[in-house]
Amino acid sequence: MPPVRRLVVDVLKPHEPPLLEFTTSVAETEHVDGVTSSLIELDQEVQNVKLTFEGTDLDFEAVEDAIENLGGSVHSVDQVACGEQVVTDRRTLQDA
Amino acid sequence: MPPVRRLVVDVLKPHEPPLLEFTTSVAETEHVDGVTSSLIELDQEVQNVKLTFEGTDLDFEAVEDAIENLGGSVHSVDQVACGEQVVTDRRTLQDA
Amino acid sequence: MPPVRRLVVDVLKPHEPPLLEFTTSVAETEHVDGVTSSLIELDQEVQNVKLTFEGTDLDFEAVEDAIENLGGSVHSVDQVACGEQVVTDRRTLQDA
Amino acid sequence: MPPVRRLVVDVLKPHEPPLLEFTTSVAETEHVDGVTSSLIELDQEVQNVKLTFEGTDLDFEAVEDAIENLGGSVHSVDQVACGEQVVTDRRTLQDA
Amino acid sequence: MPPVRRLVVDVLKPHEPPLLEFTTSVAETEHVDGVTSSLIELDQEVQNVKLTFEGTDLDFEAVEDAIENLGGSVHSVDQVACGEQVVTDRRTLQDA
Amino acid sequence: MPPVRRLVVDVLKPHEPPLLEFTTSVAETEHVDGVTSSLIELDQEVQNVKLTFEGTDLDFEAVEDAIENLGGSVHSVDQVACGEQVVTDRRTLQDA
Amino acid sequence: MPPVRRLVVDVLKPHEPPLLEFTTSVAETEHVDGVTSSLIELDQEVQNVKLTFEGTDLDFEAVEDAIENLGGSVHSVDQVACGEQVVTDRRTLQDA
């Protein structure tokens, strides 16, 4: 199976744990070389955050478990890059 | 025949399998060095995703078969790059 | 005659052959090092596509013949770059 | 625990100390290799500033203490990057 | 006299000769290392095109003659870069 | 104290001295390796300019004195970068 | 006095001499390594052009004299970069 190299995941999480702790915990997941979380929106109950993972062969199930163990949930997987080569997608002229 | 080096394909897929599994499966297609899938839109039945493939000589039929075997369908081929050189197209001054 | 190094051509093509086959066929034209086609618009009869060619000395007549042999037609030539040096044009401050 | 490499923090601070002194003081926090502060908005009482920290293993609690000791408060943590690799997140095609 | 290194010229040309032939002919002008023409607009009589020339010491009179010999006319000179160093101009913060 | 490496200062200055003389004078301030001033707005009495300083360890008080000695005043400090590493801040996905 | 390295000057000039001759003449000013002129606007009497100069130590008075000797006038100095280091200014997050 071609390795998963980059994942962008839209996540809903409770206010606790805070984003910092949430991110460092999820970053401990095996095969994760790095993760960046960006706050998108928040209301009284939840925070909507975007998590971008990079690694040599990411394990989404392990990532999802880590998110759920912290009280979060994956709202959607927005981008997946896999294979020997990490492909950067761009808007084509139709949408440029 | 000049090699196909990059392909951008607009795909409609059912919710199952999830985007991750869908992408890693399609990435197994021969001659695919890497593929990135981006979620564009989704409704109750389907997901509209954009798949960008790169390889030394992509085989579209094999790619399309893989997509269809997973319950998806190619809505349109949005971009094709072929030849010894991968040409980056840009908007010309007319559209800039 | 200074070599033609890059050509951007606005093309109308029928749905058959599909964009992939159309592009790989046109890419076989002599002196074409690479070509990228991007779908711009389509309706029931035709597809409007933008073809960007690069080569050491492109032969537009041969390119146009190839396009016409596939049932397509050149709607307009949008950009031509020729000479020893490939010049990138940009919007000037007036239009920036 | 994977190192925290980059932090973007939204801060409310009083007019005193001024942004310069505030930033140089916070920059003294252990593990901070560099910090850039940008003024976002100000009214009669407070300034809203964005602080971006980079380091080999940032200590958020120490950063937050430094901010609070200067009379400021962390309004939100907007971005966290951690791991061996600093991941740059980008908008995906859905939002591009 | 400092050498002229880059010229952007706004040109009106008849439909004949076509843009390709027009550009390759103008590219033969002495001291032109490369020229890129971009179609801006066209109506029934004329095409408005932007020609960007680069060379070690461009001769505008010779360029203008070539344009006029092909039935075109220089509508305006939009940008001139001259000297040992080719200066890239950008919008300043006032216009950014 | 961590060195101040980059400063963006919003300044109001009288028409005299002119921006050029104003900038070259302020540039003489100790520890200033370079300064770029950009005119933002002007009315009959004053000019609003943005001054961006870079240096190994900028001395804001000396900079402010220089500005005031020339009849100007610091309207606000918009950005401060300090530390061993100059951190580039960017909009996060929330604001992108 | 710190050297002036880059100048952006907003100029009003009569139609004669044309922009090309105007620019090559002004480029002869001492210490000018390169100058790029961009046409911004024109009406029946005058052209509004932006001139961007670069050099090791530009002499604005000499530049202004050259502009005035050609019938032009400096409308405003929009940007001045001086010092050992040429500082690129950018919009801060406040204006981004």
What is the per-residue pLDDT across B49-83, written as a single tens digit (0 to 9) for each? 999 999 999 999 999 999 999 999 999 999 999 99
For residue G7, the SS3 value is: strand
pLDDT attached to residue F5: 98
Cα C50 to chain centroid, rounded: 6
What the block records as the tokens of E18 is: 């076509």
Which of E38, B43, G77 lies closest to A76, judged by CA?
Answer: B43
Cα C54 to chain centroid, rounded: 9
Q: Taking CB atoms and an 8 Å cutoff, what residues of chain E touch G15?
A: none
Q: Tokens 């959607």, residue? A: A76
Q: Minimal Cα–Cα distance from E50 to chain B, Å? A: 8
Domains and CATH numbers, chain E: 4-82 (3.30.70.1340)
Chain C's closest residue to G39, CA to CA, is C94
Q: Taking CB atoms and an 8 Å cutoff, what residues of chain G touch C90?
A: none
Interatomic CA distance for residues D76 and A63, integer angstroms? 24
Residues in chain A with pLDDT values less than 50: none
Which residues face B73 on adjacent strands?
Answer: B12
Contact G93 D50 (CB under 8 A): yes
Chains F and B touch (3+ CB pairs under 8 A): no
pLDDT attached to residue C75: 96
Interatomic CA distance for residues B55 and B65, integer angstroms? 17
H/E segment holding residue E25: helix E19-27
* Most A CBs within 10 Å, among B4, B6, B10, B23, to test the A interface: B23
Q: Taking CB atoms and an 8 Å cutoff, what residues of chain E touch B92?
A: 38-39
CA dihedral B27, B32, B38, B42 (to 10 degrees): -50
The residues near F86 (Cβ < 8 Å, ≥ 6 apart) are: D34, D36, F5, F6
Peptide bond into G2 cis (omega under 30): no
Position G27, amino acid? A
The residues near F61 (Cβ < 8 Å, ≥ 6 apart) are: none
Contact F35 G94 (CB under 8 A): no
Q: What is the DSSP letter of B87?
A: P
Confidence of residue D93 (pLDDT cuts 50, 70, 90): very high
What the block records as the tokens of D71 is: 């009379």
Interatomic CA distance for residues F19 and F46, integer angstroms? 11
What the block records as the tokens of F57 is: 């360890």
User: Quick check: F83 pLDDT over 80?
Assistant: yes
Q: Taking CB atoms and an 8 Å cutoff, what residues of chain B touch E40?
A: 93-94
Q: What is the DSSP letter of E89?
A: P
pLDDT attached to residue G27: 98
Average pLDDT over residues D38-46: 95
pLDDT digits 0-9 by tens, D4-24: 999 999 999 999 999 999 999
pLDDT attached to residue E95: 85
The residues near E43 (Cβ < 8 Å, ≥ 6 apart) are: none
Q: Minimal Cα–Cα distance from B78 to chain A, Å? A: 7
User: Quick check: C96 pLDDT over 90?
Assistant: no
Chain D's closest residue to F64, CA to CA, is D20
Q: How many residues does chain A have?
A: 96
What the block records as the tokens of F15 is: 């028409």
Q: Taking CB atoms and an 8 Å cutoff, what residues of chain D touch G93?
A: 38, 40, 50
What the block records as the tokens of C34 is: 């690479």
The residues near A78 (Cβ < 8 Å, ≥ 6 apart) are: A8, A9, A10, A50, B38, B39, D92, D94
What the block records as the tokens of F54 is: 């870079």
User: Quick check: F96 pLDDT over 80?
Assistant: no
Average pLDDT over residues D48-75: 98
pLDDT attached to residue C95: 85
Q: How many Cβ atoms from other residues are within 10 Å of residue A89's Cβ? A: 20
Residues of G near C (Cβ–Cβ under 8 Å) read 38-41, 50
Pair A59, A35: CB distance under 8 Å: no
Q: Minimal Cα–Cα distance from E95 to chain C, Å? A: 9
Q: Tokens 């000049």, residue? A: B2
pLDDT attached to residue G34: 98
pLDDT attached to residue B95: 85
Position F28, amino acid? E
State the count of interchain CB pairs (< 8 A) between B and E.
9
* Most C CBs within 10 Å, among B61, B84, B89, to test the C interface: B89
For residue A77, the SS3 value is: strand
* Most F CBs within 10 Å, among E89, E90, E93, E95, to test the F interface: E93
pLDDT digits 0-9 by tens, C38-88: 999 999 999 999 999 999 999 999 999 999 999 999 999 999 999 999 999
Helix, strand, coil in percent for chain C, rounding step 5: 20, 40, 40
Chains F and D touch (3+ CB pairs under 8 A): yes
Pair F37, G79: CB distance under 8 Å: yes
Q: Residue F20 burial by CB count (10 A; 0-12/13-18/19+): exposed, middle or buried?
A: buried
Q: Taking CB atoms and an 8 Å cutoff, what residues of chain A touch D67?
A: none
pLDDT digits 0-9 by tens, C1-50: 899 999 999 999 999 999 999 999 999 999 999 999 999 999 999 999 99
What the block records as the tokens of B15 is: 């919710």
Chain A's closest residue to D89, CA to CA, is A52
User: Quick check: E20 pLDDT over 80?
Assistant: yes
pLDDT attached to residue G95: 85
User: Quick check: B29 pLDDT over 90?
Assistant: yes
Residues of C near A (Cβ–Cβ under 8 Å) read 38-41, 50
Q: Minimal Cα–Cα distance from G23 to chain E, Å? A: 7
pLDDT attached to residue D55: 97
Q: Taking CB atoms and an 8 Å cutoff, what residues of chain A touch F92?
A: 38-39
User: Quick check: B86 pLDDT over 80?
Assistant: yes
User: Quick check: D95 pLDDT over 90?
Assistant: no
Query: For every residue of G49-84, which 3-state class applies, written as one string?
Result: EEEEEECCCCCHHHHHHHHHHCCCEEEEEEEEEEEC
Chains A and E touch (3+ CB pairs under 8 A): no
Contact G19 E77 (CB under 8 A): yes
ipTM of the complex: 0.93
The residues near C38 (Cβ < 8 Å, ≥ 6 apart) are: A92, A93, A94, B78, B79, B89, C49, C50, C52
Nearest CB to G24 within list E1, E6, E92: E1
Radius of gyration for the alpha carbons in chain E, expressed in angstroms and rounded: 14
pLDDT attached to residue F95: 85
Residues in chain G with pLDDT values less than 70: none
Determine the Cα angle at C69 with ends C67 and C70, to 5°.
65
Who wins on pLDDT, D96 or A43? Answer: A43
Query: For every residue of F9-46, which 3-state class applies, written as one string?
Result: EEEEEECCCCHHHHHHHHHCCCCCCEEEEEEEEECCCE
Interatomic CA distance for residues E40 and E47, integer angstroms? 8
Pair A87, B47: CB distance under 8 Å: no
Average pLDDT over residues F36-45: 95
Chain F's closest residue to A52, CA to CA, is F93
